[in-house]
Structure 1
Amino acid sequence: MMHRLRRYLVAGLLIWVPLGVTLLIIKFLVDLMDQTLLLLPAGLRPENLLGFRIPGLGILLTAAIVVGTGVVVTNLFGQQLLHLGERLLDRIPLVRTIYTSVKKLTEAIFHGTGKSFRKVVLVEYPRKGIWSLAFLTGEGVHEVRDRTGQDLLTIFVPTTPNPTSGFILMLPREDVIELEMPVDDGLKMIISVGVVVPEGRKEALIAPRRAQAS
């Protein structure tokens, strides 16, 4: 009886916990975007025009601001403004660190051809026999390659679940295994502490074990 009750309890939690967390996150995001309505003059705010508040209207204003920003920064004048703003931020130590980290992570997630993370790779780190998921970030520093006489690659090994911090390694090309996994899938796997794995590759990993078991 207790075993069956426990099974029902776990089954219920598996339904309600993800659903509840999802609803809380959505509510938080909607409330956050509704704050953009405060940018409007008091007389133009929906609650003053209609006499009541409609949750979620801030999503439309947020989308308009994001799209409008994209339109501005994709032309020459907008690019100059963006570079000017980034130069100003670069002079503020703490702000510079946070902005640069978040920008590189955003580029890697939303821009498949971004310069931050080029490919997902596998390296033996922190010791032989232990493999870590990492990202190829460059072809190596010329001075380091000249002094070592080796063909080195610059590899970023991120921490989990926060991939904006990690370790920079310079490894010989032959010690780096390139994966077919897309960069966004690699980031999802790291952020989810390995829980979210590309489905096709997950089945490929499980299949050999089933074959051995049979």
Structure 2
Amino acid sequence: MAALRKWLFSGLLVLVPLIITLWVLDWVVSTLDQTLRILPMAWQPDRWLGMHIPGLGVVFALVVVLSIGAMASNIIGNKLVHWWHALLHRIPVVRSIYSGVKQVSDTLFSEKGNAFRQALLVQWPHDGMWTIAFLTGAPAGELARHLPDDCLSVYVPTTPNPTGGYFVMVPRSRCVELAMSVDEALTYVISMGVIVPGGPKNPKLKTVVA
């Protein structure tokens, strides 16, 4: 029985990551394949090929994104993008949603963005309980008037799904910079602490400085 149990867990350790990886890839490919539906029926690959080839939607989505990026990089395309932004900002309900989403996307995807550039250790949700967080910036505007000057804006992810979490503002003195990359910190969060970056030893820490 002990040998059977060992073989069972060994098999699960091999198969579970592989199955989950294949499932995620299948979901991504299947989702992107839906983008082909925006094409006219006569232009859809399934119709003129006579068969469905998984992954064509990925290629199509990549071509669309690259084409829009190339168009937005020239003078005429840049003017069209500004005109489109101005139009959306005039629609009452759409304006608030689009502005917030655009600011987040500009921060995350811009080459000059500073989002998720640093992994931190903060006390959350109360003193004496520590968790991993990511530095996103510093409070500004109206918020800065009501907070101490040394506060930082941080994102505290949940586990095992880091896309959900909490945005908090904490004093700089209560944040500890982790000597690990953002990817390593995300891996640690997603694995619920099972995968320790750098091995079993605790990562080297230092106080966050300006």
TM-score, scaled relative to structure 2: 0.72
Distance in 1 of aligned mates of 2:20 and 2:92: 36
SS of the equivalent of 1:202 reads coil
- Residues 1:3 and 2:2 are matched in the alignment: yes
Contact map agreement 1:140 1:170 (CA 8 A) in 2: no
Distance in 2 of aligned mates of 1:125 and 1:20: 34
- Residues 1:59 and 2:58 are matched in the alignment: yes
Q: 1:170 to 1:143 in 2, by over 3 A?
A: farther
Q: Which residue of 2 aligns with 1:202?
A: 199
Distance in 2 of aligned mates of 1:52 and 1:140: 54
* Larger deviation, residues 184-193 vs 47-56: 184-193
Q: CA deviation at 1:147?
A: 5.8
Q: 1:36 to 1:105 in 2, by over 3 A?
A: closer
Q: Which residue of 2 aligns with 1:84?
A: 86
Distance in 2 of aligned mates of 1:17 and 1:104: 34
Q: Which residue of 1 aligns with 2:97?
A: 96
Distance in 1 of aligned mates of 2:110 and 2:97: 21
Distance in 2 of aligned mates of 1:191 and 1:111: 25
Written as runs of structure 1 = structure 2, the 5 A alignment for 1:33-52 is: 33-52=32-51
Distance in 1 of aligned mates of 2:52 and 2:141: 60
Aligned pairs, number: 198
Q: CA deviation at 1:64?
A: 0.5
SS of the equivalent of 1:91 reads helix
Written as runs of structure 1 = structure 2, the 5 A alignment for 1:1-214 is: 2-75=1-74, 76-77=78-79, 79-81=81-83, 83-84=85-86, 87=89, 91-92=93-94, 96=97, 100=101, 104=104, 107-108=107-108, 113-141=112-140, 150-160=149-159, 161-171=161-171, 173-198=172-197, 201-202=198-199, 204-205=201-202
Distance in 1 of aligned mates of 2:123 and 2:114: 24
What is the aligned-residue RMSD (CA, Å)? Answer: 3.5
Distance in 2 of aligned mates of 1:32 and 1:88: 31
Q: 1:90 to 1:62 in 2, by over 3 A?
A: farther
* Larger deviation, residues 110-119 vs 33-42: 110-119
Distance in 1 of aligned mates of 2:185 and 2:91: 29
Q: CA deviation at 1:80?
A: 1.1
Unaligned runs of 5+ in 2: 204-210
Paired residue type of 2:166: G
Q: CA deviation at 1:35?
A: 1.9
Q: 1:12 to 1:90 in 2, by over 3 A?
A: farther
Distance in 2 of aligned mates of 1:78 and 1:115: 27
Contact map agreement 2:33 2:56 (CA 8 A) in 1: yes
Counting helix residues as a fraction of each chain, which structure ranks higher? 1
Contact map agreement 2:156 2:166 (CA 8 A) in 1: yes
Q: CA deviation at 1:107?
A: 4.9
* Larger deviation, residues 121-130 vs 76-85: 76-85
